[in-house]
Amino acid sequence: MTDILRYAAFTQRPDGGNPAGVVLNADGMSEAQMQQTAADVGYSESAFAGAAVGERRYPLRFFSPVAEVAFCGHATIATAVVLAGMDGPGHMVFETPAGDIAVDTRRQSAGTLASMRSVASHSRGASDDETQRALAALGWSAADLHPIYPPHVAFAGNEHLMLGVRTRERLAELAYDFDALRELMLERGWTTVQLFWVEDDETVHARDPFPVGGVVEDPATGAAAAALGGYFRELGLIRESTRFTIRQGEDMGRPSELTVEVSPDDPQVTVSGYAVQIIES
């Protein structure tokens, strides 16, 4: 029987953050077995790590309940914390379908903190058609969007549509057309839609619909957090090395915190967070 560990990432509480399944030594599992395991676990993603192929270097794959995902930030953080608990904190590298992801782990009084470096980020303006179809699926209008943050499709391992809103109230009122948004995302190859509101220079609030993964919403999305940092950089909003916090999952009862570090001269983005084990009764 496959030993499945369950961890909540980007939180210090097992009832917060984004749950992920973690399977170690998954080399002997077929793709179909990984997919079935992820479906059985039912979390937005589960991670499947192979045995080390070098010093603290591991192959890593990710599956949602319905499909493989090239890169998943919260499951990467969860896997790194699991391995740090077994082998001690330090540097490790995951070979993912999106490229190599370096992660540093360190023990702190609050738990084990993991910091992952994304692949090189980039961002492009979303087309009028992409924007209008997304807004229609969300039940929003162009007036809901903040003029400082134009709609973009941002990448830091996979692609995410970025939509910045004017108010926190607009962000809180999320009730979208699941099938319409899923169809658009599958057509365009987007992993999530990152809906965000900038509170100030240090705090961003976000929500991430994830219909292509078979779930309504992700409570913490490390891949989208990295893409958001790259998006801010692409817009020229990052003029010096900057750190900010993304607060996500609050509107769905699973509060999460993701720390993002981005520099104007570096396309790679660092995303950090804690992860704790979920003990199921």
Question: How many residues does this entry show for the chain?
Answer: 281
Distance of CA 120 to the CA centre of its chain: 15
> Average pLDDT for residues 86-94, to the nearest whole number?
97
- pLDDT at position 6, please? 97
- pLDDT at position 65, please? 94
**Model confidence at 267: pLDDT above 60:** yes
Strand-pairing partners, residue 105, are 90, 114
Residue pointed to by tokens 């509107």: 251
In angstroms, the CA 158 to CA 185 distance is 12
> Average pLDDT for residues 146-152, to the nearest whole number?
98
Q: What is the DSSP letter of 27?
A: G
Contact (CB, 8 A) for 192 and 224: yes
- pLDDT at position 72, please? 96
In angstroms, the CA 137 to CA 158 distance is 21
186 three-state secondary structure: helix
User: What residues contact 93, with CB distance under 8 A and at least 6 apart?
Assistant: 54, 56, 57, 58, 100, 101, 102, 103
pLDDT tens readout for residues 186-213: 999 999 999 999 999 999 999 999 999 9
- pLDDT at position 2, please? 73
In angstroms, the CA 211 to CA 116 distance is 25
**Model confidence at 83: pLDDT above 70:** yes
In angstroms, the CA 217 to CA 210 distance is 5
- pLDDT at position 268, please? 98
User: What residues contact 60, with CB distance under 8 A and at least 6 apart?
Assistant: 47, 48, 49, 50, 76, 79, 94, 95, 96, 101
Pick the closest to residue 28 from 56, 42, 48 (CA basis). Answer: 48
Helix (H) or strand (E) holding 32: helix 31-41
In angstroms, the CA 102 to CA 268 distance is 11
**Model confidence at 1: pLDDT above 60:** no
Ordered domains of the chain (ranges, CATH): 5-118 (3.10.310.10), 122-268 (3.10.310.10)
In angstroms, the CA 155 to CA 150 distance is 15
> Average pLDDT for residues 74-101, to the nearest whole number?
97
**The amino acid at 236:** G
**Model confidence at 224: pLDDT above 60:** yes
- pLDDT at position 281, please? 59
Q: What percent of the chain has a predicted confidence (pLDDT) above 90?
A: 97
Contact (CB, 8 A) for 88 and 55: no
pLDDT tens readout for residues 20-58: 999 999 999 999 999 999 999 999 999 999 999 999 999
Q: What percent of the chain has a predicted confidence (pLDDT) above 70?
A: 99
In angstroms, the CA 119 to CA 270 distance is 10
A 10 A CB-CB count for 76 gives 29
- pLDDT at position 280, please? 74
- pLDDT at position 118, please? 97
Q: How would you label 233-265 residue by residue, b for 16+ Cβ within 10 Å and e otherwise? A: bbeeebeeebebbbbbbbbeebbbbbbbbbbee
Indicate the pLDDT class of residue 222, thresholds 50, 70 and 90. Answer: very high
